[in-house]
């Protein structure tokens, strides 16, 4: 259960660190399975594209910069399935969002050593737009974070702005959604360093980003998205895919049909 102060702080700032949601033993198991997933299923790529790369990195760093990613870790590991449905975690989310909570997706972002990918300022609603802000993202920390390895950073109170238009096109073609670097800077953000086993929860509209990993060790975080099932998705990743109810029930809205077992 969260305290009144924690809930107020989340409502004002749009983010909250919750310490030690996962025990060291749970983290060992998650770590082991994450390494399996990274070795077996994940992909390493240049990461997010767009003109922001040249603002955040010099030429040689930009060329070397990499990101390891994969979605939906609970499709590959039962330890991750237990993690994303952990009652202590889910009950804290319920304190912030209400009684009914549906799991939407999860995504690994691992920043390899030294040139591990920075993230430009953005809102996650640009990747999976819903009708409103009843959506929480949870960053499960596999490693301690600090300025040196690119901790998560937030623009405090920015969730109150609602969804903003993002840059998605350049003259060279489509790019990963991000906010203009001329208007939004990492320098204006609040750093939220965290420990292995902590989670950092934020609203889908909270503007955030992170610096490059300059250390000689990988920095791994798994983002898990949860929504109020009445908050329907409008566009983006995992659109149309039902999620598990991890808390409460799915109310039936006008026009809703039960899930079919037939292929479309
Ligand atoms: O991993 C990071 O540093 C940032 C991740 C992020 O921006 C996101 O998951 O939306």
Q: What is the pLDDT of residues 128-178, one digit of tens each?
A: 999 999 999 999 999 999 999 999 999 999 999 999 999 999 998 999 999
Ligand 1 pocket, residue 119 CB under 6 Å: yes
Is 53 part of a structural domain of the chain? yes
Residue 261 lies in a domain: no
| Location of structure tokens 């799915």 | 250
Asked if residue 220 has its Cβ within 6 Å of ligand 1, the reply is no
Asked if residue 124 has its Cβ within 6 Å of ligand 1, the reply is yes
| CA–centroid distance, residue 252 to ligand 1 (Å) | 33
pLDDT at 264: 67
Domain assignment present for residue 260? The answer is no
Of 73, 117, 208, which is best to mutate to test ligand 1, by the most ligand atoms within 8 angstroms of its C-beta? Answer: 208
Does 35 map to a domain?
yes
Distance (Å, rounded) from C-alpha 118 to C-alpha 121?
Answer: 10
Tabulate helix, strand, coil % of the chain (nearest 5).
25, 30, 45
Q: Separation of 208 CA from ligand 1 center, angstroms?
A: 8
Ramachandran bin of 162, using left for φ above 0, alpha for ψ from -120 to 50, beta for the remaining angles:
left
**pLDDT below 70 — which residues of the chain?**
264
Tell me, using a 6 A CB cutoff, whether residue 223 lines ligand 1.
Answer: yes
pTM summary value: 0.97
- Nearest-atom number in ligand 1 for the CA of 109 is 1
What domain range is 47 assigned to? Answer: 4-247
- 24 assigned to some structural domain: yes
Judge if the beta carbon of residue 15 lies within 6 A of ligand 1.
no
Residue 182 located in a structural domain: yes
In a domain, residue 263? The reply is no
Cβ–Cβ under 8 Å, residues 251 and 229: yes
Mutate to test the pocket of ligand 1, among 34, 210, 219, 220 (most ligand atoms within 8 A of CB): 210
Task: Count up the domains in the chain and report the number.
Answer: 1
Q: Which residue's CA is the nearest one to ligand 1's atom 9?
A: 223
Which of the 8 DSSP states describes residue 118?
A: -
Q: How far is it, in rounded angstroms, from Cα 211 to Cα 208?
A: 11
pLDDT at res. 263: 77
Q: In CATH, what number is assigned to the domain containing residue 125?
A: 2.60.120.620
**What is the reported pLDDT for 258?**
95
Q: Which of 69, 119, 147, 225 to mutate to test the pocket of ligand 1 (most atoms within 8 A of CB)?
A: 119
| Nearest ligand 1 atom to alpha carbon 127 | 10
Asked if residue 240 belongs to a domain, the reply is: yes
Q: Please report the beta strands in the chain, taking only residues with DSSP state E, as ranges in sequence order.
A: 15-18, 43-45, 67-71, 101-111, 119-122, 128-130, 135-141, 152-154, 167-170, 173-178, 190-192, 199-203, 208-210, 219-227, 233-236, 245-247
Nearest CA to ligand 1 atom 10: 124
């Amino acid at each position: 259960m969260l305290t009144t102060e924690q809930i107020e702080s989340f409502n004002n700032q749009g983010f909250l660190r919750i310490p030690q949601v996962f025990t060291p033993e749970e983290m060992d198991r998650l770590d082991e399975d994450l390494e399996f997933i990274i070795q077996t299923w994940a992909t390493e790529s240049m990461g997010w594209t767009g003109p922001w790369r040249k603002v955040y990195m010099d030429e040689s760093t930009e060329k070397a910069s990499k990101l390891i990613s994969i979605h939906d870790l609970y499709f590959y590991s039962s330890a991750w399935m237990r993690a994303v449905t952990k009652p202590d975690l889910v009950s804290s989310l319920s304190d912030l969002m209400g009684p009914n909570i549906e799991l939407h997706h999860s995504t690994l972002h691992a920043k390899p050593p030294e040139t591990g990918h920075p993230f430009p300022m953005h809102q996650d609603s640009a990747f999976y737009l819903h009708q409103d802000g009843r959506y929480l993202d949870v960053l499960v920390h596999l490693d301690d974070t600090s300025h040196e390895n690119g901790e998560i950073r937030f623009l405090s109170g920015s969730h109150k702005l609602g969804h903003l238009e993002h840059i998605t096109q350049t003259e060279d073609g489509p790019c990963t959604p991000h906010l203009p670097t001329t208007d939004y800077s990492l320098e204006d953000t609040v750093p939220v360093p965290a420990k292995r086993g902590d989670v950092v929860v934020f609203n889908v509209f909270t503007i955030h980003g992170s610096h490059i990993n300059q250390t000689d060790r990988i920095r791994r975080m798994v983002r898990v998205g949860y929504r109020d099932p009445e908050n329907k998705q409008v566009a983006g990743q995992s659109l149309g895919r039902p999620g598990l109810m991890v808390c409460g029930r799915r109310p039936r809205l006008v026009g809703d049909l039960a899930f079919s077992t037939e292929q479309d």
